[in-house]
Amino acid sequence: MFLRSIGSALSISAFTFACYLAVMPKAVAITYGQSDCADNTGCLHPNTVSLSGFREPGAGEQASLISSIRCSGSLLSVDESRFVILTAGHCASAYLAGLQDGSLVDVGVSFDPAITRDLPTISPTVWSASQYILHGQPVLNSSYGKQGAQASNIQFDYAVVVFDLPAIARVTEGGTLVDVDSIAPVLLPPQDYLVGKVSAKQPLYITAVGYGTGEAHNKPGDGGNAGGAVNATDTLGVRWYTDLTRAFSFMGPERNLLLGSQNPARGDEGTCGGDSGGPLFHNDNETEIQIGITSSGDAVCRATSIIARTDSARAVDFLGCVMSVGASTPEILSCGCTEVNSQGECEVTVGLQ
């Protein structure tokens, strides 16, 4: 998640928002949350993933590819030919910009609950040689960043990454091979699902899930950020979750954003750097529905978070296009765009507006 104070961000463009993500220092994970796979009892959200852009190694670096821009995401759909990951628009915009200018050479995804440096050398041709499946194609929705796209108020912040695969896609998880098509995709809400469910007097409790690129601890076993220094480890990302995030108001010209509280003084939890693109779930009669995507928040991850709604009209149109029954990869690509301009927005307006 891109982090800076709300007041200082108002003049920053969407492209600066995306590019800063690429160079920001090691960030921290979900605040005041807990491991998604605690006590070896199984993972609660196996459909939440780690995304990364990959660059060529620099002088003195040994790996064949280096993980660079890291975000989170969720499994949106899977069939015998491909699977699709849902993530934040600013993540996809940064990936597309990097692929265009050559600073990135690939985009990958991992379902592993913990991404570490203790891996075989990453190979762009052997998918099972690391925790990442490579060769992802980001698709940015054509409305991203438009209509007042300040960094603190990013508009229509959702996108997908498409991975074409053989009949059974397999990735490593804890040293074992796992079939992607054995993981249940997330469930999306109908349009305006949140209308009438969110208000200052009636905040909606939601579960945030995501990966950080490092950790900061208040105490042993706690994933929280106390505002102190990051305890840098060799961990590149751990899947954390929090179910005490409260969404309490709508934002944006089309009310397409949610404002959430992560104020520890109120007992709230929230998201932080590296959680961008991760899902936020509402439990509806024991069924988790992904009502939003982690977008942005305050600089120290202790006050508010900004969430892109998946039930807004434009999100429903874009994601409906992506998930059309029988859609081929070229048809999915036509739902948005695969090139961005200097503002990080769609270079050529195609597909849905």
Do 87 and 229 share a domain, yes or no?
A: no
Domain presence at residue 126? yes
Query: Domain check: are 222 and 136 in the same one?
Result: no
* Domains identified in the chain, total number: 2
Question: Residue 180's domain is classified under what CATH number?
Answer: 2.40.10.10
**pLDDT attached to residue 168:** 41
Residue 260 lies in a domain: yes
Burial 190-204 (b: 16+ CB within 10 A, else e): ebebbeeebeeeebb
Residues 254 and 277 in one domain: yes
Residue 346 is assigned to a structural domain of this protein:
no
pLDDT at 289: 97
- The per-residue pLDDT for 148 is 55
Residue 294 lies in a domain: yes
Residue-range definition of the domain harbouring residue 285: 204-309
Other Cβ atoms within 10 Å of 320 Cβ, number = 13
What pLDDT shows up at residue 115?
79
Q: Per-block average pLDDT, block size 10, for the chain (353 residues)? A: 29 30 42 76 88 84 77 92 94 96 91 68 42 88 74 79 66 55 92 92 90 51 41 63 85 88 82 90 93 86 89 96 87 94 76 39
pLDDT of residue 207: 92
- Looking at the structure, tell me whether residues 85 and 178 fall in a common domain: yes
Q: Which helix (H) or strand (E) holds 247?
A: strand 235-251
Shared domain for 182 and 214, answered yes or no, is: no
- Give me 104's structure tokens: 């990135």
| pLDDT at residue number 5 | 24
Query: Residue 59 gets which letter from DSSP?
Result: T
Does residue 150 form part of some domain? yes
For the chain, first and last CA: distance in Å?
A: 25
Residues 294 and 326 grouped into a single domain: no
* Spatial separation of the C-alpha atoms in residues 301 and 210, rounded to whole Å: 14
